[in-house]
Amino acid sequence: MNAGIPAASGHAAAEQVLDVHETACCVVGGGPGGLMLALLLARRGVPVTLLEAHATFDRDFRGDTVHPAILEILDEIGLADRLHQRQHVKMYGPTIPTADGPVMLFDMRLLLKTRFPYIMWMPQPIFLDFLATAGRECPSFRLVMGATVRQLLTEDGAVRGVRYRDTDGWHAVRAALTVAADGRFSRLRKLAGLRAIPTSSPVELLWFRLPRLAGDPEGTGIVSPRFGKKQVLLMIDRADHWQVGYFFPAGDYPKLRAAGVEVMRQSIVALEPRFAENVQALTDWKQFSLLSVASSRCPRWYRPGLLMIGDAAHTMTPAAGAGIKYAIEDAVVAANMLAEPLLARGVRLSDLAEVQRRREWPTRLIQAFGAWGLRQLGGRLRSGSAGPVPRWLPWLFRLPFVARLAARMLAFGVWRVHVESSIVPTTRLPV
Ligand SMILES: Cc1cc2nc3c(=O)[nH]c(=O)nc-3n(C[C@H](O)[C@H](O)[C@H](O)COP(=O)(O)OP(=O)(O)OC[C@H]3O[C@@H](n4cnc5c(N)ncnc54)[C@H](O)[C@@H]3O)c2cc1C
């Protein structure tokens, strides 16, 4: 055991630790939730160390949406205009295919009280890099990339930091508070003995890229679904390629594989004939990732010295399309509640419980909606009636109050979250 380091959970605890860093808050996971929390705490002058397992932010299994609620939050801390200078496209409302062609269900420009009546589509690596860059402008922000947390440090039953590995070996971070923002497969959740309970049944999909070819329509960033009887194809236009989700009845993957890549290519083209050329790039099953998506939620998001936020506390499904928004809103509430106690190095268990209390109901609500969406999708895929979209649906959204309510819910949800005035800079940072 290294002198001065509390007991470590997990194996390899006896290996040599190269250095021990002291900080007020150690955030594990540089996704949207972890980065936003570290940024806000550092803005308030709290010493914070953020540990991210990957060496870069460049990953595939991520959403690309920045909702109006998040753009407003970034505006509150003076960063929205800077963000708009990075590569993005704007989506003003969801578009669905109908027998009469594509229809925009409702238009968020109905929302008059926001500067940002659109969902910004920004490749997540760019968004995360933006948050990291803003964080690095604060003297008390420390980001370590390529740092995989493997163990918790505990003292008298409380978490007091972590041990992580990088290419050099083992390191330790001692902290008054450790925040697990390490996503849906959270290692910290397991190490802390906290458990997540499923809140929806799983839906299976294949997730893959198609090349963008000369002659493809201009990159709009729009998500377009295509409905077959037993398949739904979700096409996300990512400017330099197409990100595609192919939903099929749960349990059918062995059958799909046995039929072969050529049959898979034909099935994609049957759903979207425009991809006839693009699918020629699919030659091997290695190009497809099989994902099983379901939501889950932890009954308890904390224990002494440890708080979970984002997908670690409540895994979201793509059906709700708002996991990034919820992770960032958790981070804002956590920063509002914990910045002062962290500056005084006196975080109480009741402070952590209050973060969960404030975030639990919004989370329950969106998960119930997402679970309903997945149930509908799963049932329709199984019964072979996935499409088309019912004819009455676009008509329903022509009612002004329905369209306005839907736009508000999509943009902001039920509960708005704001950054505490002590974190908001009094003078705006240069754009
Ligand atoms: C296929 C798919 C599509 C989606 N599309 C959307 C969408 O369009 N819009 C939307 O809002 N949401 C979408 N989501 C959900 C969204 O991606 C998540 O809800 C959101 O990313 C959660 O943010 P987070 O910060 O909690 O965790 P994550 O974004 O998962 O970030 C966790 C981070 O922790 C790091 N990490 C993990 N373990 C360790 C460790 N031991 N040590 C150090 N670092 C570690 C990971 O590398 C990662 O960077 C989608 C999800 C899936 C699966």
Cα angle at 37 between 89 and 423, to 5 degrees? 95
Closest CA to 293 of 226, 339, 232: 232
**How far, in Å, from the CA of 278 to the mean position of ligand 1?**
28
Q: For 99-103, 125-129, 135-139, 149-153, which range has the lowest pLDDT when averaged over its residues?
A: 99-103
CB contact set of 358 (below 8 Å; sequence gap of 6+): 333, 337
Mean pLDDT of the chain: 88
Q: What is the mean pLDDT of residues 385-406?
A: 84
pLDDT in tens, 185-242: 999 999 999 999 999 888 889 999 999 888 776 655 456 677 777 888 888 777 778 8
The alpha carbon torsion through 190, 191, 192, 194 (nearest 10 deg) reads 10
SS3 394: helix
State the closest ligand 1 atom to the C-alpha of 188, by its place in the atom list counted from 1.
41
**How far, in Å, from the CA of 270 to the mean position of ligand 1?**
31
For the chain, percent helix, then strand, then coil, each to nearest 5?
35, 25, 40
| 281: confidence class by pLDDT, cuts 50, 70, 90 | very high
Q: Would you state the pLDDT for residue 220?
A: 54
pLDDT in tens, 67-97: 999 999 999 999 999 999 998 888 898 877 7
Q: Would you state the pLDDT for residue 60?
A: 64
Q: What is the mean pLDDT of residues 389-418?
A: 89
- Evaluate: CB of 253 within 6 angstroms of ligand 1: no
- Evaluate: CB of 33 within 6 angstroms of ligand 1: yes
Per residue in 213-229, is it b (16+ CB within 10 Å) or e — as a string? eeebeebebbbbbbbbe
**How far, in Å, from the CA of 315 to the mean position of ligand 1?**
9
SS3 113: coil
- CA dist 283 and 396 (Å) reads 42
Out of 285-299, 300-314, 404-418, give the one with best mean pLDDT: 300-314
- Evaluate: CB of 318 within 6 angstroms of ligand 1: yes
| E strands present in 228-288 | 232-237, 241-248
- At residue 154, φ and ψ (nearest 5 deg) are -125, 150
Residue 20 has pLDDT above 70, yes or no: yes
State the closest ligand 1 atom to the C-alpha of 62, by its place in the atom list counted from 1.
17
pLDDT in tens, 144-166: 999 999 999 999 999 999 999 99
- Evaluate: CB of 321 within 6 angstroms of ligand 1: yes
Q: Would you state the pLDDT for residue 429?
A: 46
- Evaluate: CB of 413 within 6 angstroms of ligand 1: no
State the closest ligand 1 atom to the C-alpha of 57, by its place in the atom list counted from 1.
49
**How far, in Å, from the CA of 187 to the mean position of ligand 1?**
13
Q: Is the dihedral of CA 67, 71, 77, 82 positive or negative?
A: positive
Share of the chain above pLDDT 90, in %: 62
**How far, in Å, from the CA of 281 to the mean position of ligand 1?**
27
- CA dist 377 and 180 (Å) reads 31
Higher pLDDT, 144 or 249: 144
Instruction: Name the residue with the closest Cα to ligand 1, atom 27.
Output: 183
Residue 133 has pLDDT above 60, yes or no: yes
Share of the chain above pLDDT 70, in %: 90
| 249: confidence class by pLDDT, cuts 50, 70, 90 | confident
Q: Which two tokens stand for residue 328?
A: 């960032």
- CA dist 348 and 368 (Å) reads 31
| 430: confidence class by pLDDT, cuts 50, 70, 90 | very low
**pTM score, whole prediction:** 0.90
- CA dist 127 and 123 (Å) reads 7
Q: What is the mean pLDDT of residues 315-334?
A: 89
Q: What is the mean pLDDT of residues 4-28?
A: 78
pLDDT in tens, 342-372: 999 889 999 999 999 999 999 999 999 888 8
For 115-169, give the secondary structure using H, E and C.
CCCCEEECCHHHHHHHHHHHHHCCCCEEEEECCEEEEEEEECCEEEEEEEEECCE
